[in-house]
Amino acid sequence: MAQEETVWGETEVAGQELIRETASAIVGKLNKGEVTPLDLLDVLEKRIAEVDGKVNALPTLCFDRARRHATELMKKPAGQRGLLAGMPLPIKDLFNVKGVLNTQGSPIFKDAISEWSDIFVEHLEGNGGVVYAKSNTPEFGAGANTFNEVFGATLNPWDISRSAAGSSGGAAVALATGMAWLAHGTDMGGSLRNPASFCGIVGLRPSIGRVAHTLSATIDRNLTVHGPMARNVEDLALLLDAMSGEYPADPLSLPAPSTTFLSAARSGRKPKRIAYSPDLGITPVDPEVAAVTRKAAQRFAELGVIVEEAHPDLREAHECFQVLRAFDFAMTKEKLLRTRRDLLKPEVIWNIEEGLKLTVEQIARAEAQRVEMTARTVEFFRSYDLLLAPATIVPPFPIENRYVAECAGKKFDNYVEWLAIVYAITLACCPALSLPCGFTASGLPVGLQMVAAPRGEAQLLAGAKMLEDVLGVRGTTPIDPRAPK
């Protein structure tokens, strides 16, 4: 095997073999007392020192805080430290971790230290998670390319001249390069799924309410959800178990299911009938991406699953998402536009201003469109167990491009329209993940978007694990960052 194709390389040092372990295996070692959370933090700190300067995924580190937390956790017997048992993980730099810098990728907050932790952080730490870093993100998570004026750009480790996508780009790169076993992300218009696709890892957007969150602006603000990121489906399910659960401060949060998501992933439950669509009927797609994802979807046929080409009617997705996204920005960022406009990037200013122009009639129309698309999608899942499509419509693009301006001859009207294949699923309230499914001719990862009916995470994870086993792509990460070919 050529050197550039190796999973790790010759730079492995004592203790670094742990980096290649799955998260599930690491938790097993923690529960048996074979390693300690402090051991893992030492391994990560060394790996970050070796790798992160090449990709800029984890700009804020908090190892002192992590070691204090780990030391307290270790006062409990091994096996009684929560689902994660002391597993370290990074948090996206849009959310509060008490005592840690939270820039939100904005010069406005470049020195902001959080005085409290968000609900999901408290929940993760209560479940044995140990926070050691904040992962890089675009300014306020706006745009599917991870760069900002505070820390700069995060680079794709498969080719450091390429974008890692976003907005959970730092998290995806940390996983792909062995600087994390598990990572937190969020998703509005594919912010978990896009970087998972570009970086060859797995990212899941859960159903609304699956992961409790700190309320902001409105009680039912739900375009964005928190979700897990990992290198394989079982590890993804493990983190979803640790993130899930009812929380009184989030009235819409769901109770944890009686059967764990990890058990569901391992269940072997096979879908009977699935649908594949190269474009969901609403977007151009790069022909190579379409070919790779179609080939992956067809592998289900080897398992005796019926595979048909179909998709729900999502024709209103563009208008609906543009309105609801703009309204969200207006609700949450209007004050910053008035007081700190000079420090906002142009795309954020555009989103806020578009939101402030909206009429009640436009918002009502968009909400009605979302209801109709969700109803049609739920009906679609009466016939199909899963819906498959590309997770992104292009392979990783050059890092200097702020966004994808054109695909397959179609020029886009704005910086988010190229994300329709994921934001349409957001609008339909479905859980969806990106699964590594192959590579382009130039060796760049391609992700397959897998979608289930609302609250169908168990079936989704079972199907994803089954396809992952067939595809044989699991294990291609972690990698050392690679120079352009």
Q: Whole-angstrom Cα distance, residue 485 to residue 125?
A: 41
First CA to last CA distance, the chain: 17
- Catalytic annotation on 191? yes
Give how far Cα 444 sits from Cα of 38, 204, 337, Å. 35, 20, 38
Residue from 167, 197, 244, 253 carrying the catalytic annotation = 167
Q: Whose CA is closest to 119, among 223, 20, 4, 216?
A: 216
Residue 383 appears among annotated catalytic residues? no
Fill in the DSSP letter of residue 110.
T
Nearest one of 394, 424, 398, 419 to 408, comparing CA atoms: 394
Q: What share of the chain is helix, strand, coil (3-state, %, to 5)?
A: 40, 15, 45
Name the 3-class secondary structure at 92: strand
* Catalytic site residue from 92, 134, 333, 465: 92
Query: How deeply is 28 buried, as exposed, middle or buried, from its count of CB atoms within 10 A (0-12, 13-18, 19+)?
Result: middle
207 is catalytic: no
Sheet holding 202-205, edge to edge: 182-187, 225-230, 202-205, 432-439, 445-451, 386-390, 273-276, 306-309
Cα(414)–Cα(325) distance, rounded to whole angstroms? Answer: 13
The number of CA neighbours under 13 Å toward the Cβ of 30 is 31
SS3 307: strand
Residue of 24, 135, 191, 197 with catalytic role? 191
For residue 430, the tally of other CB atoms under 10 A from its CB is 27
Any idea which residues carry the catalytic annotation?
92, 167, 191
